[in-house]
Amino acid sequence: MPRAVHAFAWGGTLLAAIAVILAAAAAEGTGPWEGWDEGRELRRPGYAERVWRDRPIRTRSNTFSNLAYITVGLYACGLGLSDRRRARLAGPDAPPVNIVLATPALSALFGLSCLWLGFSSGLFHASLTRAGQRLDVAAMYPPLLSLLAIAAARALPARIGPRGGWGLPTWGLLAAAVVVAEIALWTWKWRMSATTILSSLIAAMALVTVAEHLLRPGRFRSAWLGWGACLLAAGIVCRQTDVARSFPVGPDSWLQGHALWHLLTAAALGTLYLHERSEQGARLHERWEKRESSSGPSASSASRIEGDRIQQDRS
């Protein structure tokens, strides 16, 4: 991974943390959440961490741990920018490796989804307001929807439209679908079971991933998938023990079960994204080879062939 991507991700995370600290310091004593509808967790905390009702950040650990989603999102965006730059340097004749590396917009879609999750969840745990809770729950879905969009892009043509005519880029349509789904889930949040929707998306992602491994054996690095499953399972355990008040720390500790849920699920999302990037021998490469064979030799190949013919004539 390029060093610039590491610098982009960790530098951006540091700036985000500094921005939150400065904003909290500026809002100290001003009651920034007055006038906002209270969330249920303000009076009846659902998590073990102590709630500071008069502070700008009402739960410290559960708020700052959302920076993990910011880090993952910045890594995905940074890798997308790196892929775009690499493609420009390689030129149009370079064969694509897989759908993620060949379509930087898909990395940006996943990265922005994680950034949105980090912001929304952080706002909720800092404010414990009803609006923050609504954003927090709705923002849990786009990262998984983005991963499903990547899987769909792998199975669909690069453009969708009339045969032989114009066509819209598939990634744009998939991104629009993710945005529309997020708006719908946010609009009807109070009429839906968040647990049911999230469990369904996780199950759909698991089924799609298993199907990809069965249909294309050996094309993905299965270790990333294994790590993702382990991290998610550990995160669920931490979250449930925190809700049950059985996590072995005090309410004022920076080590909280729900904060670990944030860290572990962010890491799980990151490993699933890396799993999608790990595809080798992709059908996209096969399409490129078919295109090259049907369109004839490229300009560089043609020039080499012409040079060889001249050299043979001279000899």
Category of 31 on φ-ψ map: left (φ > 0), alpha (ψ -120 to 50) or beta: left
Q: Which residue has the higher pLDDT, 68 or 167?
A: 68
CA–CA distance, 145 with 212 (Å, rounded to integer): 17
Is the pLDDT at 309 greater than 50? The verdict is no
Alpha helices in the chain (DSSP H): 3-27, 40-43, 60-64, 67-90, 99-102, 104-127, 130-139, 141-155, 170-187, 194-215, 222-243, 257-277, 283-295, 299-314
Average pLDDT, the chain: 85
Q: What are phi and psi of 129, to 5 degrees?
A: -105, 165
pLDDT digits (tens, 9 = 90+) for 208-238: 888 888 887 778 888 888 899 999 999 999 9
In CATH, what is the architecture of 3-160+167-279? Up-down Bundle (1.20)
Q: What's the whole-number mean pLDDT along residues 92-117?
A: 87
Task: Give me the count of residues in the chain.
Answer: 315
The amino acid present at 31, given as its one-letter code, is G
Is the pLDDT at 310 greater than 50? The verdict is no
From the list 77, 76, 71, 98, the residue with the least C-alpha distance to 87 is 98
pLDDT of the residue at 149? 93
CB 127 within 8 Å of CB 155? no
pLDDT digits (tens, 9 = 90+) for 160-210: 766 655 678 888 899 999 999 888 888 887 777 878 888 888 899 889 888
pLDDT of the residue at 291? 46
95: pLDDT confidence band, cut at 50, 70 and 90? low
Q: Which residue has the higher pLDDT, 307 or 124?
A: 124
pLDDT digits (tens, 9 = 90+) for 124-166: 999 999 999 989 988 999 999 999 999 998 888 877 766 655 6
pLDDT of the residue at 96? 65
Q: What is the 3-state secondary structure (H, E, C) of 193-250?
A: CHHHHHHHHHHHHHHHHHHHHHHCCCCCCHHHHHHHHHHHHHHHHHHHHHHCCCCCCC
pLDDT digits (tens, 9 = 90+) for 283-305: 554 444 444 444 444 444 444 43
pTM for the whole thing?
0.84
pLDDT of the residue at 295? 46
pLDDT of the residue at 3? 92
Structure-block tokens of residue 313: 């004539």
Q: What's the whole-number mean pLDDT along residues 244-265?
A: 94
Q: Which of 50-59, 276-285, 286-295 is predicted least confidently?
A: 286-295
Q: Which residue has the higher pLDDT, 310 or 258?
A: 258
pLDDT of the residue at 24? 95
